Amino acid sequence: MALRHAVLAALLDGELSGYQLAKAFDVGVANFWYAQPQQLYAELTRLQQQGLVAGREVVQESRPNKRLFHVTDAGLAELEDFTAASARPVFVRDDLMVKVQAADSVDTATLIDQLTERAEIARARIELFEALLRRLRGDRSEEDFLRHGDRIGPYLTCLRGIAFEQENRDWCLRTVAVLEERRHTRARN
Amino acid sequence: MALRHAVLAALLDGELSGYQLAKAFDVGVANFWYAQPQQLYAELTRLQQQGLVAGREVVQESRPNKRLFHVTDAGLAELEDFTAASARPVFVRDDLMVKVQAADSVDTATLIDQLTERAEIARARIELFEALLRRLRGDRSEEDFLRHGDRIGPYLTCLRGIAFEQENRDWCLRTVAVLEERRHTRARN
DNA sequence: GTTACCATGTAAAGAGTTACATGATTTG
DNA sequence: CAAATCATGTAACTCTTTACATGGTAAC
């Protein structure tokens, strides 16, 4: 059960409604996990039943009412246990990689398009993440912030998000370059 | 359905038994996907029923008999379709990131251990992947191989595997450094 | 007026993990 | 004699995705 803990970790930053949480997870600005709104609403309900989060109804006039959730002491204890338990390494698991693996046997035209598009998406995310980093550290330098800041978890995970997307972008562009050169070479022969 | 295509792509390199396939997926040497043996046996059966792969029984004396599978023309066509369809971007989704996100609120001792261990695993995988790259390109230079080699798909995915693991390792080590320094700083105050 | 945003869900299907099962051979 | 390798699966469970569903307000 990983989503549970991702939700708990996300709620450490303060009270959030399901909708706000969904936005954070959706943009990937949460950058350490991704989940869809439906999952989050369901998970919040479960977590509340188990007493790991508590919600309070906020009545709004010009908008639908919402429930704001925060982590309870039991939730914190659960996170503590989770952190102490060991985690297995992860793999990339990307459809694009499967396609590239098969690149020698299939038409590469659309593949090149997809890689280019993916590089662009990665670029956009890097920008987004970098803006988030700046916001998190305020006017401090990164080094200073990481040494003395109160809440560095999100900053550290965001650093990884950026590194991942950079690697992503660079690999896509490199692969496009290789595939395109081969197309031209073949065309000439 | 993603595993289907990963299996098809993996079988492009030649006939494999379920067991051999499982080893490739397990080590992650397939490096573009990961799956467990049970999944693979089930998937091979399904693929065979759908005519996307064909198997032949190989009778062995000192070992149990095995079934060697290869991709059929229908399988190739399926891969072609899959490649043409668009793929959604991926996220990292790593328990370790969830833990780091919560690092300000939980005990970091075991977390530091886990990050260190993960860095070591990443280092080992990088070595493994680099050996695989050397084997794939033979005595050619990377540039030459990527320009004129017959089968570059696995090479390109392996490049990404390495980049991913490097990023992984570096982030873990950086995070450990940050967390450790904060422990010491706090201890002093 | 149409699109985007706020706000919350249910239901079903698909994918992946974990646990359980078996049994022979080879290597140390 | 124990551990690793070869070889193949089933069953139950959890997690994720996709599709469906509703309804008001704000902005262009």
Q: pLDDT tens-digit profile of A25-68?
A: 887 666 889 999 999 999 999 999 999 999 999 998 888 899 99
Determine the 3-state secondary structure of B117 from DSSP.
helix
Report CA(B35)–C1'(C11) in Å, whole number: 28
Distance from CA of A62 to the nearest CA of B (A): 34
Please name the residues in contact with B125: beta carbons below 8 A apart, sequence gap of 6 or more.
Answer: B28, B161, B165
Tell whether the model's pLDDT for residue A103 goes beyond 80.
yes
Alpha helices in B66-108 (DSSP H): 73-84, 95-101
CATH T-level fold of B3-84: Arc Repressor Mutant, subunit A (1.10.10)
Output the average pLDDT for chain B: 92
Whether the CB of B166 is less than 7 Å away from nucleic strand C comes out as no
Cβ-contact A87, B116 below 8 angstroms = no
Between helix B37-49 and helix B3-11 the angle, nearest 10°, is 80
| pLDDT tens-digit series, residues A57-98 | 999 888 889 999 999 999 999 999 999 998 888 888 899 999
Radius of gyration of chain A (CA): 21
Domain layout of chain A by residue ranges = 3-84, 95-188
Instruction: Report the alpha-carbon distance of residue A154 to residue A159 in Å, rounded.
Output: 9
| pLDDT tens-digit series, residues B3-47 | 999 999 999 989 999 999 999 998 777 788 999 999 999 999 999
Interface A-B: count of C-beta contacts within 8 A = 217
Strands (E), B59-134: 66-71
Tokens of residue B31, six digits = 């490096």
Asked whether the beta carbons of residue B9 and residue A152 sit closer than 8 angstroms, the reply is: no
Tell whether the model's pLDDT for residue B187 goes beyond 70.
no
Nearest CB among B110, B147, B159 relative to A84 is that of B110
Report CA(A10)–C1'(C2) in Å, whole number: 35
Smallest CA–C1' separation from A42, nucleotide: C9
Asked whether the beta carbons of residue A159 and residue B151 sit closer than 8 angstroms, the reply is: no
For the beta sheet containing B16-17, the strands, ordered from the edge strand earlier in sequence to the opposite edge, are B16-17, B66-71, B53-58
The position carrying tokens 């290869």 is B70
